[in-house]
Structure 1
Amino acid sequence: MERIFFPLPPLTEQYRIVSEIEHWFALINQIEQDKLDLQEAIKQAKNKILNIAIHGKLVPQDPSDEPASELLKRINPKAEITCDNAHSRKLPNGWSKCHLKDALLIIMGQSPNGETINQINGIEFHQGKLYFSDIFVQSSNVYTSEPKKMAEKDSILLCVRAPVGIVNIVTRSVCIGRGLCALKPKKGNSKFYFYWLQTLQNIFERKATGTTFKAISSETVKNECIALPPLAEQQRIVQKIDELFSTLDNIQKALEV
């Protein structure tokens, strides 16, 4: 170290250099903090959009839409369309309260025999959120030759073991293990239910039980209440959310450049 040469400015210039560096570093730190604040604001904005959507305030109601009660009767004549929770009070016109099991086919995962799991061929296998992205489940490099429980194409995969409540949409049929639950709309838009289920994450977390691993049961999932809009309004809600989220995502990408 003693033999290393470096250019040494005059003492007064050293002070000016230090002052200038500190000025620019302070500015850079402020920009970085502003970026973090904006990223948090984007996250909060998305949560607010979802909250507004599930309360029927994101898009206007259309009196000509078939009421959700008629939709429920058609897909499940035995559906209980009267349940209550914080989300489903003071329903907009045409909306109905129901349990998730009334609108969705729900399949709890079951892990295949360990000897059938490999990384070469068979049915694609998912155990948790390892291959989750923002919306769609990415391809796994894990397979099983003897699947126990299958999630159909366009199902929503829900994490039922820690971390509880995280969701993604799968665009192909896959095998699911105990850490996941598959929810397939009996009639309607998978993306609508994907957005709805995101608002239930905190509720599922509060209802989770267990000491080593927090988990929720099939009954907890099946009996959770939602406020269901008419099918046509579901489409309008998804379209509006996609539009708003796209704008926010573009801002997010600009921050990462």
Structure 2
Amino acid sequence: MTGDIVFARTGATVGKSFLIKELPFDSVYASYLIRIRVIGKLSRDYVYDFFNSKCYWNQITDKSVGVGQPNCNGSSLKELLIPVPPINEQELIIKSIKNLQLYSNIIESQQTDLKSLLLKCKSKILDLAIRGKLVSQDPNDEPASKLLERIRHEKEELIKAGKLKRDKRESVIFRGEDNSYYLRTGKLVEPLTDWSFDNLPTNWEICCFGEICNYGDCINTESSVIENSAWILDLEDIEKDTGRIISRVSKADRPSISTKHKFHKGQVLYSKLRPYLNKVVLADRDGYCTSEILPLEFHAEIIPEYARYYLMSPTFLRYADKCSYGVKMPRLGTNDGKKAIFPLPPVNEQKRIVKQIEFMFSHLSVIETSVQ
């Protein structure tokens, strides 16, 4: 009936209670519940609030028996100690709790809004960074076109020396006679309509991501030859949107028979599985990772931190989301990853961009920590 409190006496929900404030039709309660009716000068709302207090839960924990299926029967419930103030004070306590819960809900909602705002702010910072609008350009910097020429020349020399095999599906960007950018993959030529990098600084260049790193070229290692003390990185160990390592596990603590990708300190680790989770890490030590993570090695004049921030930018996220295949577990394919358009600043500007991003992110982190 209205005003009853039902109490879960067994299972994972043992101790949880519910105050029945209205019944639209005649009802019965399940056998695993205990019905409680308040008598005398005792408010049902006060008792229900007590059932949500730390004092109550400490007693329930002590009185519950059993491991797999904990139980707290009616006899144990009768022995609960409950502080009973005068009825007038009970009403004041109920009113105070309601007000505090209201304020708590407001604060929690505002915290959620602020966290969302901070995330959008970080996203905007990265968007400005890869468009040359976060730091000023220095005319004394060597143009990125020279850097790109060196990268392409060095690759050709390695191919001539037989140290590198030419990728017949390699994608290259060039300017057409109409001064527009085009993407050439083998004999296929297509306009870059999905990318808006027309207003980049004049000393920047754009190239394909596969030109400046070894995207998809991983070192596979059988789990049986990995030492027990080695770091094993899985997707669940990486916090989404931040790339923060939330758990560092060794092989001894996480036995596995699956093949791993070997990585070393300084490489960028990119999660190709569900790329919308935005899990990108700069490795701070050597280790092994799930095959769903790609260790990326960049040309010596590409700052890994800058490349990492590019992979976390809204521009790349949109591209990865568009190109991903698979419904339940979408992945970014190797060829699509290589074809991604990479905005390339001069080396010194890459360093300034990274420094500015880290400066701004550190201040945002202080704000984020203060509201948690």
**If the length of structure 1 is used for normalisation, what is the TM-score?**
0.83
Partner residue in 1 for 2:128: 52
Rate the CA distance shift 1:23–1:111 in 2: closer, same or farther, 3 A: same
Question: 1:54 touches 1:87 (CA, 8 Å); kept in 2?
Answer: no
Encode CA deviations 1:183-234: one digit per residue, 9 max, x unaligned: 2220221111110000223321221113563222211111111211111111
Rate the CA distance shift 1:24–1:161 in 2: closer, same or farther, 3 A: closer
Asked whether 1:103 is paired with 2:212, we answer yes
- Give the number of the structure with larger relative contact order, counting CA–CA contacts within 8 Å between residues 6 or more apart: 1
The structure 2 residue matched to 1:169, chosen from 282, 294, 300, is: 282
Matches within 5 A, 1:73-92: 73-77=149-153, 80-82=172-174, 83=183, 84=192, 85-92=194-201
| Aligned-pair CA distance for 1:88 | 2.2
Structure 2 unaligned regions, length at least 5: 1-76, 157-170, 175-182, 184-191
Partner residue in 1 for 2:58: none
Partner residue in 1 for 2:19: none
Structure 1 unaligned regions, length at least 5: none
Rate the CA distance shift 1:22–1:177 in 2: closer, same or farther, 3 A: closer
Q: What secondary structure does 2:296 align onto?
A: strand
Asked whether 1:7 is paired with 2:115, we answer no
Partner residue in 2 for 1:197: 311
> Which shifted more, 183-192 or 203-212?
203-212
Matches within 5 A, 1:101-180: 101-109=210-218, 112-113=221-222, 116=224, 120-121=228-229, 124-126=231-233, 128-133=234-239, 134-135=242-243, 139-142=248-251, 149-163=261-275, 166-180=279-293
Encode CA deviations 1:14-65: one digit per residue, 9 max, x unaligned: 4444333322322222122111111111111101111111111111111111
Q: Residues of 1 paired with 2:369 and 2:82: CA distance?
A: 43
Q: Residues of 1 paired with 2:93 and 2:130: CA distance?
A: 56
Q: Residues of 2 paired with 1:161 and 1:231: CA distance?
A: 30
Partner residue in 2 for 1:248: 364
Q: Residues of 1 paired with 2:265 and 2:305: CA distance?
A: 13
Question: 1:88 touches 1:225 (CA, 8 Å); kept in 2?
Answer: no
Partner residue in 2 for 1:43: 119
Rate the CA distance shift 1:21–1:176 in 2: closer, same or farther, 3 A: closer
Q: What secondary structure does 1:240 align onto?
A: helix
Q: What secondary structure does 1:33 align onto?
A: helix
Rate the CA distance shift 1:70–1:27 in 2: closer, same or farther, 3 A: same
| Aligned-pair CA distance for 1:125 | 4.1
**If the length of structure 2 is used for normalisation, what is the TM-score?**
0.60
Specify the structure having the higher radius of gyration (Cα).
2
Aligned length: 252
Q: What secondary structure does 1:175 align onto?
A: strand
Partner residue in 2 for 1:64: 140
| Aligned-pair CA distance for 1:74 | 1.2
Partner residue in 1 for 2:345: 229
Q: Residues of 1 paired with 2:93 and 2:143: CA distance?
A: 70
> Which shifted more, 223-232 or 15-24?
15-24
| Aligned-pair CA distance for 1:142 | 2.2
Partner residue in 2 for 1:20: 96
Give, as a single letter, the amino acid of the residue that structure 2 aligns with 1:28: S
Give, as a single letter, the amino acid of the residue that structure 2 aligns with 1:44: K
